[in-house]
Structure 1
Amino acid sequence: MRLFFPLALALFICIQAKADIPEHTKDGRMGTKCMPKCQGGEKEYCIVSITQLAITPERFNGKLVRVIGKLRMQFEVTGLKYGEHQIWVQVGDFKKYAQYDSRTVQIEGTFNALNFGHLGMWDGAIENVESIRLSD
């Protein structure tokens, strides 16, 4: 009996704590901040980190994403990097964005989890870039 009560209490606390943790966000992507059209935007996009894109690419494949990071805009090395993770940024007009080389920027574009960039060395790619601007 002495052992039963503490075990029952511990089980109750674990169950209650689990009940307070949401299973997923409203749009089904845990750990992201996705802005649906109804919140004032014209398009739905997800605010994610480079690490989130690299570790869980299947969650964002084909989605419009907004990500902040240090941009490298050099021949065959065009992308965002954070620690061990790097995301290829595929732009049509390289010269248009060359001014952002080695700067912290915010990029909006479509994430492709199956595009591994130049020589397959990247964790995914942001394609159809809609905007690149300096981040505050």
Structure 2
Amino acid sequence: MTEGSRPSMFETVKDHDEKINNHEERIGALEKVDQKHEERLKELEEQSIKLENTILKTSTETREVMREQTEKQTEKLFELLKTAMGIQSTRSTQNHEFKMLKWNTIATIVMKVSGALLGLLSSGGLLYYYVTEFWLK
């Protein structure tokens, strides 16, 4: 190419051909990078789905374990409450029976003493004792 002159048509076409080849190489490199990005994106999506499934499975298992433990604890508490109520009822029954036994014993003693006194009075034994002890002395 000479100074001040325009490049020849051949040089211009050659220059354009080099630029086109250069652009084609860049486009090819960009397509490869884009393909790698697509592959990574697809891999990330697959991993995300796997993670989501794992979380859902773990959550379901955790809820099941919690439900089972809650049921077991509720059953144990119910049995404990039932036992406590049984003990309370037994204690109440025993207290009532003890009071009844005490009053029954008192009533039996009173009946025997009053029966003995009545027997003595009706047979004249107490009157005889009174007369012999206090009047005849």
Q: TM-score, normalised by structure 1?
A: 0.23
More strand as a share of residues:
1
If asked which structure has higher relative contact order (CA below 8 Å, sep 6+), I would say 1
Q: Which has the higher helix share?
A: 2
Normalising by structure 2, report the TM-score. Answer: 0.23
